[in-house]
Amino acid sequence: LKQRSGGSLLCSRAMAVVEPAAKRHRVDLPVVLGSSSKWRQGVFLRRFPEYGAEFMDPAIDEKAIRADRPEDMTIAIAEAKADALLPRLDKDVLLLTLDQVVVCEGAVREKPEDEQQARAYLASYQRGAGASCVNGLVAHNTRTGKRVTEVDIATLYWRPFPDSVVDHLLSNGEIFTCAGAFNVEDPELRPYLDRTEGSIDSIVGLPVKTLREMLRRVAAPPVTHVLFDMDGLLLDTETAYTVAQQDIVGRWGKTFTWELKAKMMGMKALEAAKILVDDLGLEGKISPEDFVAEREKLLHDLFARATLMPGVDRLVRHLAKHSVPMAVATSSHRRHFVLKTSLHGELFGLMHHIVTGDQVSKSKPDPEIFNLAAGLFDETPDAGTVLVFEDAPNGVEAGIAAGMQVCHVPDCNLSADLRGGAFCELASLESFRPQDWGLPPFEGDTVQPHPSVEPQASTTERGGVGK
């Protein structure tokens, strides 16, 4: 039923499968938001109506909590808020606490103390200096004791604005209640906003997408088994696909865009090729079958040199050391799998088994491949305790449809509208925190100080909007 390949197990036909369990993703505990801000409370109720939140004031001395990095400082304050509220709770809840500081030109900026400081802050924004809103977030499940933390950062840049806007802001007076001396919602300042890196939700102090992911994660049971996608997640093969596919479609003056690539990711080769031919209007010029055949020739040498993505070696060896059952569920067919992993046989040999695209009849976003892969472990796990790592939107959708927890590690080029829905989103596997999922933490994991940020004397939990 299974065939040994490079130390791991390649499944050759289906065994037990795991039935989807979508209902396990529903949070069944009430939410308490630890914030005294009426504005934040109102936004939470509008954006998270399904949770019916209650509100409590942590009432702590934030100025007594210091850290070298603003990221660490906001997390420390948010955790202190949670710890202060826990003894006051009389029922099981999901507790959320937050803190925010504004950082500009290497220093934490608080509410301006006087007009001179406010003018100095605003003058730096006139010169094009960015203001970064650093949010520290904590979610705590009082029923299980599980706690997860996140840092969410968004940065604003303004075009040069006239002194008349500065005079307006000073006269209005609201900026004296705002960290960083700006209100992103001010009608006279808003037209000069040049760009944002990150979400407006993060800037105003309630990062909706991150909070939604944290609520899913903190309500979920501890992870017992792990499933990995392969292309673009474990191995850097997506570059090879892009090069080969652009080489082919370029003959007809076409461009293989990231938007098209996102549609194809995670699908079987022929199905993906049909999408490409249709989207680029290549019917009658090349068939999907001929496209795949030509691409095969171009990819052979490129695949044989595939390298590991950042953080892969550390994570896989860590999970293996702690006897966490792992498997690969890839849409690549078996011949490509063997070719792509030829330089990494020992590492992939740490997997309990491998499921390839030719073992299933349906492509992602159908959950078939994940259900099959989970069913091949020695003991079939509950779907809700399986963690799926994916880089493709189709794969994220497949994992969620299987009732599993999903960690999305998208390419930085993937558009924002194709993200969301997972339990978390990481820039790379280097950022993964096993302890947030009930897994053993990395040994000797330390946080390095950020040399460019100098802490100031106190913090504020409200930046940019004065709420």
Return the active site residues.
Answer: 229, 231
Please give the DSSP secondary-structure letter assigned to residue 191: G
Residue carrying the six token digits 């969410």: 152
Could you tell me if 229 and 266 are in contact, meaning their C-beta atoms sit under 8 angstroms apart? yes
Residues 6+ apart with CB under 8 A from 364: 266, 267, 331, 392, 394, 395, 397, 398
Q: How many residues does the chain have?
A: 467
Could you tell me if 102 and 132 are in contact, meaning their C-beta atoms sit under 8 angstroms apart? yes
Q: What is the DSSP string of 104-131?
A: ETTEEE-S-SSHHHHHHHHHHHHTT--E
CA distance 226 to 72: 29
Indicate the SS3 state at residue 193.
strand
Find the DSSP H helices in 304-365.
312-321, 334-340, 345-348
Residue carrying the six token digits 């490129």: 302
If phi > 0 it is left, if psi is from -120 to 50 it is alpha, else beta; for residue 357 that is: alpha
Biggest CA pair distance of the chain: 77
CA distance 31 to 132: 28
CA distance 394 to 392: 5
Could you tell me if 19 and 384 are in contact, meaning their C-beta atoms sit under 8 angstroms apart? no
